[in-house]
Amino acid sequence: MKQNYLKAVSVLLKAGMPVERVLSNFKQLLNKRGHKALYGVVLRGLIVDFESNNNQINPVVTVANANDAKSDLVKNALLKLQANPENFTTEIDKSIIGGAIISYQHQMIDQSYKTKLKNLYQSVITK
């Protein structure tokens, strides 16, 4: 029964129906049929389904400037995440000041100066 609900909701969402409307109607249907305990289970199933269909293929490297993407820091982090160090998507975010944030397949290595400065600040004010 759970799989049938999961499939029906998934089809409606993929068809482009508004999420709020689909979930509201789905909740009403479950309440009407006495299956409201399945609401959370089906939502978790939708999340798993969505994540498995949208699995990140290439690592994403976020840097303050484009030259930082070619650094040894990035290359070592990609190898640590078992990703191809030659094939990645680069995003520029000036707010990280320097260093890099590398994410790949639900894992992240944050070696940005912004994070290091925040951690240093937190350690100074808590002592």
- In angstroms, rounded to a whole number, what is the distance separating the alpha carbons of residues 97 and 104? 21
For the chain, which residues make up each domain, given as ranges?
2-53, 60-125
Q: Provide the total of helices (H) and of strands (E) in the chain, helices listed first.
A: 5, 4
- What's residue 54's pLDDT? 59
Instruction: State how beta strands 100-104 and 60-63 pair.
Output: antiparallel
Q: Centre a 10 Å sphere on the Cβ of residue 14 and count the other Cβ atoms it contains.
A: 9
- In angstroms, rounded to a whole number, what is the distance separating the alpha carbons of residues 118 and 123? 9
- In angstroms, rounded to a whole number, what is the distance separating the alpha carbons of residues 93 and 69? 12
Is the model more confident about 6 or about 56? Answer: 6
Predicted TM-score of the model (pTM):
0.57
Query: What phi, psi does 91 have (nearest 5°)?
Result: -120, 140
Q: What is the mean pLDDT of the chain?
A: 90
What confidence tens digit (pLDDT) does each residue in 62-114 have? Answer: 999 999 999 999 999 999 999 989 989 999 999 999 999 999 988 899 999 99
Is the pLDDT reported for residue 55 higher than 60?
no
- What's residue 52's pLDDT? 67
Q: Which two tokens stand for residue 102?
A: 């590398």
Cβ atoms of 74 and 63 closer than 8 Å: yes
